[in-house]
Amino acid sequence: MVILILKIYIIFISFLTLLYILRHLIFTYNRAFTEQKVAYNDVIDSELPYVSVLIPMHNEEKVAKNILEALINSEYPKDKLEIIPINDHSTDKTKEILDEYSQKFPYIKPLHRLEEDKPRGKPAGLNEALKIAEGKIVVIYDADYIPSKGQIRDLVINFLDPEVGAVMGRVVPLNVSKNLLTRMLDLERSAGYQVDQQARYNLDLIPQYGGTVGAFRKDLLLKICKQIHSEKTEDQQKEYVNIDQDSIINRKKLVSEDDEEKCFFDPIVLAEDTEITFRFFINGYKVLYINKAECYEESPEDWKVRAKQIRRWSAGHNQVLFKYLLPLWKSENLNLLQKMDGTLLLIIYLFPFLMLLGIIDSLILFFLGEMEILSIFWILLAILAYNSYGNFAPFFQIGISAMIDGYQQRIRLLPFFYFIFLFNLWYTSLGFIDALKSILLRKSLKWDKTERFRKTT
């Protein structure tokens, strides 16, 4: 019986792997050979909305000046812009830097969160900042990012479409040349954005809001949450969307101030970006991906830092999986393909854990002499699946993205993705276990900030 279960699991994991391969093959084909969908970036409109730019910061003295200077240099009208750097319990010179800039530039309004009793972490910091942010549109950058002069406009202009809940730009690593890790992360990022995100946008699937180099509608986030609260309270309204404005106003009093703060981002969930992606899609709004809105970031230069980062991403993403898988399938605002893509996106950080179990499973079966699973066909299937995905991640996707970006030589590093795969397999699995623990024990996870490597300027 046990052996049968182990064999069924091998078949299951092979199928799941093939499903992912098929998904990424479709994405690659779509990006390489079909017409690309354009967003609203070419629109020039003199009536731009008031925008709040939020920058979560925790001990960011190495990078704070760079991002503030880049935002000061932005061509977005300053009378329609406020910049709120969120100083989240920094113990270095972040506070002094922010205060210095706020004195010179009145539209820079730092939020210092220094009280010990305040909850730490990006979602908690964003929630507090969102309470004071005056912009209808909120743009978020991590502190290590360097936006171009026109990027805020490039992101914000897309909100002329009332169906757009959030917009995501492209992340480009700046410190590529540092070491093998940064070079590999550069290829990974390139594939993830240039091919994966763009294809999902082309195919009207689920492009992801990534929590930085992105923007969203503040009022919409609040509205959706209030609708959910109202539903829970009154148990009357079955549809999340299409509620007239008056009924929303009437229901406002049902939501307490504490609830309102939680309405923005769930402070327990580490992946606030993935959470709002699904919150918007489930409720009938879209996330647009803007490939042109490119922004430099700093990649981790140290394997330990990368391990922490990917473990945190995995934990957060899996928290969202537990929270949103059922609502995704219940949603009447999504079609079957979107639900399938959404599911594959939700389980993407669970998949390495399942694969790890699959590898262990195959080893057990091998040593028990039970590798004959149905027929040789299944073995071939498993090998094909593993070679396509397991060795080099979706190598074809990385290859096409490098080609589109005009990279010539770095594509030769592709075989090293085997080691990245093993690395990701382990730390992503740990992240899944973290998320599982947080759900079962009802405990919040600790937010581990990614260490910066830039030299202070």
Partner 1 sequence: MSTEILLLIFLILLTFPFIPGIIEFIRKKDIQPLNINLEQYKDPAFFGKQYKNFLENLIGNLKKPDKKIYQISPNTLKIEISKEKFEIIKIYENSLATDQPENQAEEIIIAKGENVQTQTPIKTNKEITIQGNLSVNHPIETKALLVEGNININSNLKINYWIHVEGKGQINNTSILGINAFFKELYILSSCLFKRIFANKIIVGKSSNQNESLNKSNISIFKGTIKAKKDITIKTQDKKLIIEGDLISDKSIIVEGDVWIKGNIFSHTGIVILNGATVGEENKIKSVIAKKRILLINHCKIYGYLHTEGIGIVQI
Q: 331 to each of 200, 206, 247, 347, 435, how far by Cα in Å?
A: 19, 14, 21, 18, 24
Per CB under 8 A, 413 contacts partner 1: yes
Q: Is 9 in the site for partner 1 (CB under 8 A)?
A: no
Tell me the CA distances in angstroms from 77 to 48, 135, 327, 387, one per residue in order: 8, 13, 40, 51
Burial per residue of 335-357, b for 16 or more beta-carbon CB atoms within 10 angstroms, e otherwise: eeebbbbbbbbbbbbbbbbbbbe
Q: Rounded to the nearest whole angstrom, what is the least distance from the CB of residue 157 to partner 1 in the complex?
A: 9
- Tell whether the torsion through CA atoms of 413, 418, 421 and 423 is positive or negative: negative
Contacting range for partner 1; rule: CB under 8 A; set: 4-12, 32-40, 132-140, 353-361: 32-40
- Count of Cβ atoms closer than 10 Å to residue 87 Cβ: 23
Contact flag: residue 322 with partner 1 (CB under 8 A): no
CB atoms within 10 A of CB 457: 8
CA atoms of 55 and 256, how far apart (whole Å) = 26
Q: Which residue has the tokens 């002499």?
A: 369
Assess 46 for contact with partner 1 (CB under 8 A): yes
Sheet holding 137-140, edge to edge: 111-113, 81-88, 51-57, 137-140, 214-217, 164-173, 286-297
The pattern of x and - marking residues 228 through 247 that bind partner 1 according to CB under 8 A reads --------------------
- 43 contributes a contact to partner 1 by CB under 8 A: yes
By CB under 8 A, name the one of 8, 22, 160, 337 that touches partner 1: 160
Size of the site for partner 1 (CB under 8 A): 46
* Per CB under 8 A, 333 contacts partner 1: no
Neighbours of 192 (CB within 10 A): 17
Candidate segments 80-88, 130-138, 157-165, 425-433, binder of partner 1 by CB under 8 A = 157-165
Check binding of 383 to partner 1 (CB under 8 A): no
Nearest approach, Cβ of 177 to partner 1 (angstroms)?
A: 4
Given the rule CB under 8 A, which of 77-85, 161-169, 366-374, 449-457 is the region that contacts partner 1?
A: 161-169
* φ, ψ for residue 220, nearest 5 deg: -70, -40
Cα–Cα distance between 39 and 41 in angstroms, integer? 6
- Paired tokens of 379: 């073995």
Please say which residue, 140 or 152, places its beta carbon nearer to partner 1: 152
Instruction: Tell the smallest beta-carbon distance from residue 271 to partner 1 (Å).
Output: 25
Minimum Å distance from CB 13 to partner 1? Answer: 24
Angular region, 240: left φ>0, alpha ψ -120 to 50, beta rest? alpha
Q: 196 or 272: whose CB is closer to partner 1? A: 196
Q: Is 42 in the site for partner 1 (CB under 8 A)?
A: yes
Residue closer to partner 1 (CB basis): 375 or 457: 457
| Binding flag, residue 173, partner 1 (CB under 8 A) | yes
Burial 7-46 (b: 16+ CB within 10 A, else e): bebbeebbebbbebbebbeebbebbbeeeeeebbbeeeee
> What is the x/- site pattern for partner 1, positions 287-316, by CB under 8 A?
-------xxx--------------------
* Residue selected from 100, 161, 302, 370 as contacting partner 1 according to rule CB under 8 A: 161
Which residues of this protein are in contact with partner 1, per CB under 8 A? 37-38, 40-47, 70, 73, 75, 146, 148-150, 153-154, 160-163, 172-177, 180, 183, 186, 190, 294-296, 405, 407-410, 412-416
